[in-house]
Amino acid sequence: MPSILDRVRTLISANLNYLVSQALRANSMAVVDEYIRKVDDNLEALEDAAATIGGEAKTLKRKYRQFEEQSEEVDRNIDLFLSQGKDELAAAAQYRYNTVKRLADTYGEQYKYQEAEYKKLLSAKLKLEAKLTEAKRERTELQAMLDLAKSKELTHKVVEGVGGTTVSEAGMTEIREEIQRRLDKATAQGEIDAKRLDTQMAEALEKDTIDRQLAARKARLGLE
């Protein structure tokens, strides 16, 4: 049975463009809705797993520190007993030290492993949330495309009923071209938004540079 991380990786690597193409061919949102449902379900499971693993990591870390502190205390006692010539107590303390130190090392290794797993789960959660946002955005656009296509098909059927003609390849080509025009416009708008942001950033940086240059001149002229 695949682990939660394996399932999540599969969902993250899903090709949304392919899912949208399938939905368009089937004229149905079902395949995209099913993907979104799976992401929602696995996000919930992922959050629960992350909370469990994160809690275990904290428990192991606490125990590791407790035994580490004990081992340090016993280690100091060994030196004290030896300096006092109490070899038997030193030997007993050394035995105790070995036991406590092994426990500390064991808990330390387990803690580090669980901490690494916890970080993997958190990383996967962020990626899956981003994928879910993208999928919902694609769904909104897809619904608009399907609504447009259905509207054109309905219009064509009305014309067909009036004129007695059959659905032509030209009509379907017009639908596909209209869908593609919507996609092209959305892509162009994204590029425009990106350029606008780049321009704002450049202007802000240039203004900051000019302000610093003027401040330096005022200081040199004793105007401040």
164 domain residue, yes or no: no
Question: DSSP 3-state assignment of 59?
Answer: helix
Per the CB < 8 A criterion, the answer to whether 107 and 60 are in contact is yes
202 domain residue, yes or no: no
What count of residues does the chain have? 224
Residue with structure tokens 């032509």?
168
- Angstrom distance (rounded) from CA 117 to CA 221: 60
What burial letters (b/e) apply to 140-161, b meaning 16+ CB within 10 Å?
eebeebbeebeebeeebeeeee
- Other beta carbons less than 10 A from residue 128's beta carbon: 21
- Angstrom distance (rounded) from CA 121 to CA 53: 9
pLDDT of residue 165: 43
Rounded to a whole number of angstroms, the distance between the first and last alpha carbons of the chain is 72
Show the domain range for 124. Answer: 4-139
Q: What is the pLDDT of residues 92-133, one digit of tens each?
A: 999 999 999 999 999 999 999 999 999 999 999 999 999 999
104 domain residue, yes or no: yes
Per the CB < 8 A criterion, the answer to whether 76 and 98 are in contact is no
Q: What is the pLDDT of residues 175-205, one digit of tens each?
A: 667 777 777 777 777 666 666 666 666 677 7
What burial letters (b/e) apply to 175-196, b meaning 16+ CB within 10 Å?
beeebeeeeeeeeeeeeeeeee
pLDDT of residue 166: 45
Which residues neighbour 150 within 8 Å (Cβ) at sequence distance 6 or greater? Answer: 27
Count how many domains the chain has.
Answer: 1
178 domain residue, yes or no: no
Q: 93 vs 156, which has greater pLDDT?
A: 93
pLDDT of residue 217: 79
What backbone torsions phi and psi does residue 29 show, to the nearest 5 degrees?
Answer: -85, 0
Mean pLDDT of 151-157: 59
The confidence band for 152, taking pLDDT boundaries of 50, 70 and 90, is low
214 domain residue, yes or no: no
Q: Is the pTM of this model over 0.85?
A: no
pLDDT of residue 167: 45
60 domain residue, yes or no: yes
pLDDT of residue 89: 93
185 domain residue, yes or no: no
pLDDT of residue 112: 95
Mean pLDDT of 65-83: 95
CB neighbour class for 114 (10 Å; exposed up to 12, middle 13-18, buried from 19): buried
Q: What is the pLDDT of residues 11-69, one digit of tens each?
A: 888 888 888 888 888 878 888 899 999 999 999 999 999 999 999 999 999 999 999 99
pLDDT at 157 over 60: no
pLDDT at 154 over 70: no
What burial letters (b/e) apply to 66-93, b meaning 16+ CB within 10 Å?
ebbebbeebbebbeebeeeeeeeebeeb
- Angstrom distance (rounded) from CA 178 to CA 176: 5
16 domain residue, yes or no: yes
